[in-house]
Amino acid sequence: MQTLLTAATLVQAGLLPAGMVPASIPSPDWSGFDIPLPWGSLRIHAYALCILAGIVVGLWLTSVRWAKRGAPEGSVWDIAIWAIPFGIIGGRLYHVFSSPDAYFGPGFDGTGDLSLIPQIQRGGLGIWGAVVLGAFGAWIGCRRAGVKLTAFMDAAAPGLLLAQAIGRWGNYFNQELFGGPTTQPWGLQVDADNANFPAGYPADTLFHPTFLYESLWNIAGVLILLALDRRFHFRRGRLFWLYAMYYTLGRVWIEAMRIDDAEQISLFGITTRLNVWTSIFVFIAALAVFIVLGRRKGGNPDSVYLPGREPAAVAAGKADGDQPASAENEGLAAGSETPRGSASAPNVTGHPARDTDAVVSDSESRGNLPDNQNGSGLASAQTEAVPASTGGTPTAAESRNTGKPGGTDTGTAPDADSSR
C-alpha cells in the first residue's frame, strides 16, 4: 500500500510516467530470533548472523588460496583465531570514533550512553578499524605459524572482500546506513517507526539501498581480484593493496550517498563525512605502496615462510642441534678416507692414542671377521695402523706375518663393538 501511495504521489508530481508502478525492496519483517534459556532468552540478531556468515565464507576462500600457496596445513585457522577478535574490536572502536554522538553526546557533552559501545548487535563496525587491528592480530598469528604476513594478506584479500559483501546485508536487517530518497525501482522501504528513519521525510519515502550497492561492488571486486591475481601472480602484499584501492574507490561514492549521522570533517574547503576522507587517503596510500612494492627486487616472494622457518631449514636446524657438526664430521661426510676415530692412532709422542668415541669403518669390520682358513681374527687394517710400542721390537702380529719369532699368537679377535 505504501508503494502504491508513493507511486500516485510521484505521478501527480510529474516525476513518474503514468502507468509505471515502481518496484521496491521491502523493509525486513524479521531481524532475528530468541533462544529460550532457564533464566530468560538469548536474542540472536540477523546482523550478527550476516557477519558470521561473511567470516565463514571469507575464511573458506582464504583457506583454499592459502593452501595453493604451499602454506602449512591448518595455519589459516591459527592466524584467524587472532585476526578475527582483533578485527571486531578494531571495527567497533572505529565506528565509535567516527560516530561519537550516540556514545558521548553531541560535542562530547556527556549526554550519550557509554553502555551502547559493546552492543555490536545493534550494528556499527567500521571497516578500516577492523582492517588495521585485524592485520595486527594476523601478524601475531603469522609469527607464531612461521609465515609471512604479506603472503597471508595476498591470500586473504579476495576473501576479505567477499566477507564484506555478505556482512553488508546485516545493515538491511537493521534498517540502517541507507542513502537519500530515490524514485528508482530498487528503492528501499524503511519502517517509519524505526529509530533510524530520518526525520522530515514522508512515511512512504523510498531510499537508496547503499548496503546493496556496496555488496554488489564487493562481489564484482572479488572476481576482478581473482582474475588479476591469476594473470599477474601478485606477491609481497600487492594484491592486498590492490584490494584497498578497489574498495575505497567504491566506498567514496557510496558513502557520499548516505544520510545517516556521521562525523563531518572539513579539508581543503570541503566538508564531508569522515569515511569519505578516510577512503580518499587510504586509496592514495595504497596506490603508493602498490607502486613501491612493484619496484622491489630480490628475496623469494613465492615462499610463504619466514626466513629460517621453511620446513627444510627447520629440519636441518633440529638435526644440527641434536648432533653439532665438527671439522671431523665434515671431513668424513666429504668423503675422507681416514675414518674419524680409528681404533688407534699415533700421537705426537709416537705412542698409540685411542679414540673413546671411534667409528668403525667398513674395512675395519671386515678385518675383524674370523679367517675361515687359519682361524685367526686379527684385523689387517689394525695391524697396519699400530706402530711399534718399544724401540724396534716387533709385535706378535708382525712375528706371525713375517715368520720371525717375537710374540705369541693368542688367536683372539678384537671386539668390534668396543670401537663404536
| Span between the terminal Cα atoms of the chain, in Å | 97
Residue 13 φ/ψ, nearest 5 degrees: -80, -5
Write a three-state SS string for the chain: CHHHHHHHHHHHCCCCCCCCCCCEECCCCCCEEEEEECCEEEEEEHHHHHHHHHHHHHHHHHHHHHHHCCCCCCHHHHHHHHHHHHHHHHHHHHHHHHCCHHHHCHHHCCCCCHHHCCCHHHCCCCHHHHHHHHHHHHHHHHHHHCECHHHHHHHHHHHHHHHHHHHCHHHHHCCCCCECECCCCCEEECCCCCCCCCCCCCCCCEECCHHHHHHHHHHHHHHHHHHHHHHHCCCCCHHHHHHHHHHHHHHHHHHHHECCCCCEEEECCEEEEHHHHHHHHHHHHHHHHHHHHHHCCCCCCCCCECCCCCHHHHHHHHHHHHCCCCHHHHHHHCCCCCCCCCCCEECCCCCEECCCCCCCCHHHHHHCCCCCCCCCCCCHHHHHHCCCCCCCCCCHHHHHHHCCCCCCCCCCCCCHHHHC
How many CA atoms does the CB half-sphere of 66 hold within 13 Å?
27
**Would you put residue 40 in left (φ > 0), alpha (ψ -120 to 50) or beta?**
left
pLDDT at res. 316: 61
Surface-to-core class of residue 93, CB atoms within 10 Å of its CB (0-12 exposed, 13-18 middle, 19+ buried): middle
The parts of the chain modelled with pLDDT lower than 70 are: 1-22, 313-420
pLDDT at res. 121: 72
Q: What is the pTM of this model?
A: 0.68
Write out the three cell numbers for 370. 674370523
pLDDT at res. 317: 57
Write out the three cell numbers for 122. 545493534
The 10 Å CB-count burial string (b at 16+, else e) for 219-233 is eebbeebbebbeeee
CB neighbours (10 Å) of residue 417?
Answer: 8
Interatomic CA distance for residues 185 and 200, integer angstroms: 22
Interatomic CA distance for residues 143 and 80, integer angstroms: 13
pLDDT at res. 358: 44
State pLDDT tens for residues 269-289.
898 888 899 999 999 999 999
pLDDT at res. 85: 94
Cell 567514496 -> residue: 252
Write out the three cell numbers for 339. 675414518
pLDDT at res. 350: 44
pLDDT at res. 318: 55
Cβ-Cβ contacts under 8 Å for 161 (sequence gap 6 or more): 218, 221, 222, 225, 243, 246, 247
pLDDT at res. 258: 93
